[in-house]
Chains A and B, each alone.
Chain A
Amino acid sequence: MLEIHDFQVSVQDQPILRGIDLNVPDGEVHAIMGPNGSGKSTLCYALSGRDGYEVFAGSAMLGEVDLLELEPEDRASAGLFLAFQYPIEVPGVTMTTFLREALNAQRRYRGEEPVAPMEFVQLMRQAAGTIGLNPEMLKRQVNVGFSGGEKKRNEMLQMAVLKPSLVVMDETDSGLDIDALKEVSHGVNRLRDQGRSFLLITHYQRLLDYITPDRVHVLAGGRIVDSGDASLALTLEANGYTDYQLSAA
């Protein structure tokens, strides 16, 4: 499970997150909602160790693993998966190559043998089936020429292959039409599991119409200002963030 305590992060010497406490037990789905500029993406990048996001106080533990001590690739191998808001294109590299490299790097980190070719093919087919993707997509270059919806589903596919213990989804719903949103949500629901926690970062309630969270937290002004069950999202949808922004300021 993910345990964050007094998590403080600055970007270019500007404090963005001002002390966050959060516990996501195994198998639970937590949503973090908040207005623009509240620090939602900063939380995603700081947890995954991106350069330029300086954690100057606090702790972040994934199970027994101290995330803050690890390089980004090792955090990934330890079980942290970030579904990007804007997935990146890697020209000339096929999905198959990319996923094989990623899976084998993670296996190597855990002291396991590289995946056998046949096993890998099966794994990919299975994952494509779970997400409802045409396996032909695996022959294409990573995110090159993908539609917005394909890019997001491709993130789900990678998640299904890499089987992380914590998934952080950074505004996965942004830029998706209602059909694509349903498909992506369906994929997430199929990957919900006792051993896997989710942290859904979102601006809108609509994603939560399809993925029911166990807890909802409100992030405003770099702090978690309110927490509640799934019904909190509906209240937010009705009232907006104005009250929180006033209290945070």
Chain B
Amino acid sequence: MPATVDTKEQVEALAKRRYAFGFSTDIEMDQAPKGLSEDTIRFISAKKFEPSWMLEWRFKAFARWQKMTEPHWAKLSYPPIDYQDAYYYAAPKSDSDRPENLDEVDPKLLATYTKLGIPLREQELLAGVKNARPVAIDAVFDSVSVATTFKKTLAEGGVIFCPISEAIRDYPELVQKYLGSVVPVSDNYFACLNSAVFTDGSFVYIPKGVHCPMELSTYFRINAENTGQFERTLIVVEDGGYVSYLEGCTAPQRDKNQLHAAVVELVAMDDAEIKYSTVQNWYPGDEQGRGGIYNFVTKRGLCSGRRAKIMWTQVETGSAITWKYPGCILKGDDSVGEFYSVAITNNRQQADTGTKMLHLGKNTRSRIIAKGISAGHADQTYRGAVTVAAGAHGAKNFTQCDSLLIGNQCGAHTVPYITAKNPNSEIEHEASTSKISEDKLFYCRQRGIPEEVAVGIIVNGFCREVMQTLPMEFAVEAQKLVSISLEGSIG
């Protein structure tokens, strides 16, 4: 058994080793005044040089939000959030001069991304492993996008990949048409808050028949203290188009909780396909549950056209609190929605996560594979809704929901909501809960594999079906992350 660690320094050193992204960047910031008011919203809108329709949209959302109350139906417990005790906009000062290219970006920012393992210089991106496919990256630092790579290469194929703040200025028609079309402004409390104060995120537009030539990726970094991040992402794929998009997230280690309330909307037309992958590694808080990100996220995809396909894959290892249900509205006939999830909670982390599949069109299909791993004192709930509307003849759903418990202090819960209004639909739900058995661990250890490594291998095996759906470039990283998240969970 591991030796007892008894000094405070040693404990801290251990905690730091486990969350490798806990550093912060000392950079001069431009911040909105503390608190949330119409003035804050005006400030954000002005910083982004937004047209007046956008400001009006935000005001409307804010008015709605003020009449709403925070939902508490999820199996999560946390002290009340004081929305006036936070900053809603923070940007590196150097960004106000709007860098035209990477040479003008503050070297400290570039260094931060290098430290996170995200090279933003295109030549560095390409200089990696031989045969590696390039990945275009949009990097969002607190409330602003600091760099977007490969924009030119993408533009040649008609693909638009830019910060959403830029899209609002440059492609107002597209944004006005689709923003809020999948997640309405007042969909829920956190989505409404996001609509009022969102700062940055990515916009992707794939024209008709275009197969996006590279993986697109947005990397979200919260750096400033006591600041919320309100990411907004919108992806629209026209008939027959295809895109694979990945988002990654990290934040410094801070004692106070920080709020991240994101909205992501996807629209897929006839025969369009969107693959959206998330590797969420926000700071989870320490062993006692101090600090960490509160992650309240609304993600939804609309299969608007026939045979459209949307696939969500998420690997959730971070955040103190996760409240997240990426879903699909299967409106087009024969459209397909898939949800693959690995959620890991350790120490005092809490996660209430799952998906919503709404079958509207005929012969629509959905597939849900959710793997939950709980360790330490963590608590995790899978919450999933499968709804088949009266007109959805021949709709089919398959749900498989497996929980793995490590130790005897953690919890796992499964809450499925199933509504079938069409008699010609099929819904299948399978669920299992298991523990990492002593005989599996002993078998690995007898081959020389140390106990903690063995846990990582067994858990990765448990998640294999989901990991396989990640783009290859990220699967290896995600596997490492799974092992790291569970360090210290045994013994």
- Contact A51 B462, beta carbon cutoff 8 Å: no
Complex Cα spacing A141 to B78, Å: 41
The minimal Cβ–Cβ distance linking A114 to chain B, given in whole angstroms, is 13
Contacts of A22 in B (CB 8 A): none
Whether A51 contacts B438 in the complex (CB less than 8 A), given A91-B461, A105-B449, comes out as yes
Tell me the bound Cα distance from A93 to B447 in angstroms: 14
**B442: which A residues are within 8 A, CB to CB?**
50-51, 72, 88
Interface string of A95-127 (1 = CB under 8 A from B): 001100111011001000000000000000000
Which residues of A sit under 8 angstroms from B451, Cβ to Cβ? 71, 73
Considering the chains assembled together, what is the distance between the CA atoms of A93 and B465 in angstroms?
Answer: 11
Q: Which of A71, A87, A89, A103 contacts B445 (CB 8 A)?
A: A71
Report A52-88 residues with CB < 8 Å from chain B CB: 71-73, 76-77, 81-82, 84, 87-88
Q: Which residues of A contact B463 (CB under 8 A)?
A: 92
For the complex, is A165 an interface residue (Cβ under 8 Å from B)? no
- What residues on B are CB-neighbors of A84 within 8 Å? 443, 446
Min C-beta distance of A217 to chain B, whole Å: 23
Query: Once bound together, how far apart are the Cα atoms of A103 and B453, in whole Å?
Result: 13
Evaluate whether A90 and B457 lie within 8 angstroms (CB atoms) in the complex, with A51-B438, A73-B451 already known: yes
Known interface pairs A50-B442, A51-B438. Does A102 touch B447 (Cβ–Cβ under 8 Å)?
yes
Query: A92-B462, A93-B460 are contacts. A162–B448 as well, Cβ < 8 Å?
Result: yes
**A102: which of B439, B449, B462 is its contact (CB, 8 Å)?**
B449
B2: shortest Cβ distance to chain A, in Å?
Answer: 10
A48 contacts B by Cβ under 8 Å: yes
Cα A78 to Cα B448 in complex, Å, equals 9
CA of A48 to CA of B443 in the docked complex: distance in angstroms? Answer: 10
> CB of A202 within 8 A of chain B?
no
Query: Using an 8 Å CB-CB cutoff, how does the interface string of B274-300 with A read, 1 for contact, 0 for none?
Result: 000000000000000000000000000
A90-B444, A92-B463 known; A101+B458 contact, CB < 8 A: no
Which A141-173 residues have a C-beta within 8 angstroms of B? 141, 158, 162
B93 adjacent to chain A (CB < 8 Å): no
Interface size on B, residues (CB 8 A): 22
A73 and B464 in contact (CB under 8 A), knowing A51-B442, A93-B458, A101-B457?
no
B462 touches A101 (CB 8 A): no
In the complex the two chains form, what is the Cα distance from A158 to B444 in whole Å?
12
The residues of A that contact B464 with a CB separation of less than 8 Å are: 91-93
Question: Is the contact region of chain B dominated by helix, strand, or loop, or is it mixed?
Answer: helix
Least Cβ–Cβ distance between A118 and chain B, in angstroms? 15
What is the CB-to-nearest-CB distance from A201 to chain B, in angstroms, rounded to a whole number?
Answer: 15
**CA of A82 to CA of B465, assembled, Å:** 30
The tally of CB-CB contacts under 8 A between chains A and B is 76
**What CA separation (Å) do A63 and B310 show in the bound complex?**
60
Q: Which residues of A contact B421 (CB under 8 A)?
A: none
B440 within 8 Å of A (CB atoms): yes
In the bound complex, what is the Cα–Cα distance between A123 and B236 (angstroms)?
49
Instruction: Please report the C-alpha to C-alpha distance between residue A161 and residue B85 in the assembled complex, in whole angstroms.
Output: 60
The answer, yes or no, to whether B128 is at the interface (CB within 8 Å) is no
Chain B residue with Cβ nearest A102? B447
Candidates A92, A102, A103; contact of B465 at CB < 8 Å: A92
Is the pair A109, B448 in contact by a Cβ cutoff of 8 Å? yes
Q: Nearest CB to that of A83 among chain B residues?
A: B446
Q: Which residues of A contact B445 (CB under 8 A)?
A: 71-73, 76
- Contact residue among A50, A71, A91, A158 (Cβ-Cβ distance under 8 Å from B447): A158
Q: What residues of B have a CB within 8 angstroms of the CB of A81 in the complex?
A: 446
B407 to chain A, nearest CB (A): 15
Alpha-carbon distance A69/B464, docked complex (angstroms): 36
Contact B448 A106 (CB under 8 A): yes
Assuming the contacts A51-B438, A87-B443, A88-B443, asked whether A97 and B449 have C-beta atoms less than 8 A apart, the reply is no
Inter-chain CA distance A169–B440, complex, in Å, is 18
Q: Distance (Å) between the CB of A41 and the closest chain B CB? A: 13
CA distance A89 to B458 in the complex (A): 10
Q: How far is the CA of A109 from the CA of B447 in the complex (A)?
A: 12
Q: Mark B415-453, 1 if CB is under 8 A from A, else 0.
A: 000000000000000000000001110111111111101
B453 partner residues in chain A, CB cutoff 8 A: 101, 105
Name the residue in B450, B463, B464 with the highest tally of chain A Cβ atoms < 10 Å from its Cβ: B450
| Chain B residues with CB under 8 A of A51 | 438, 442
Please state if B450 and A73 are interface contacts (CB–CB under 8 Å): yes
A141→B461 CA distance, assembly (Å): 9
Cα distance A106–B449 in the bound complex, in angstroms: 8
Cross-chain contact B446 with A82 (CB below 8 angstroms):
yes
Alpha-carbon separation in the docked complex, A164 to B463 (Å): 31
How many angstroms from the CA of A245 to the CA of B403 in the assembled complex? Answer: 47
Q: A92-B462, A141-B461 are in contact. Are A105 and B450 (CB under 8 A)?
A: yes
With a CB–CB cut-off of 8 A, which chain A residues contact B460? 92-93
Q: List 7 A-B contacts (CB under 8 A).
A: A76-B446, A91-B461, A92-B461, A92-B464, A98-B444, A98-B457, A102-B449
A contact residues vs B (CB 8 Å cutoff): 48, 50-51, 71-73, 76-77, 81-82, 84, 87-93, 97-98, 101-103, 105-106, 109, 141, 158, 162
The 7 closest A-B pairs by CB, nearest first: A92-B461, A92-B464, A93-B461, A102-B447, A76-B448, A88-B443, A106-B448
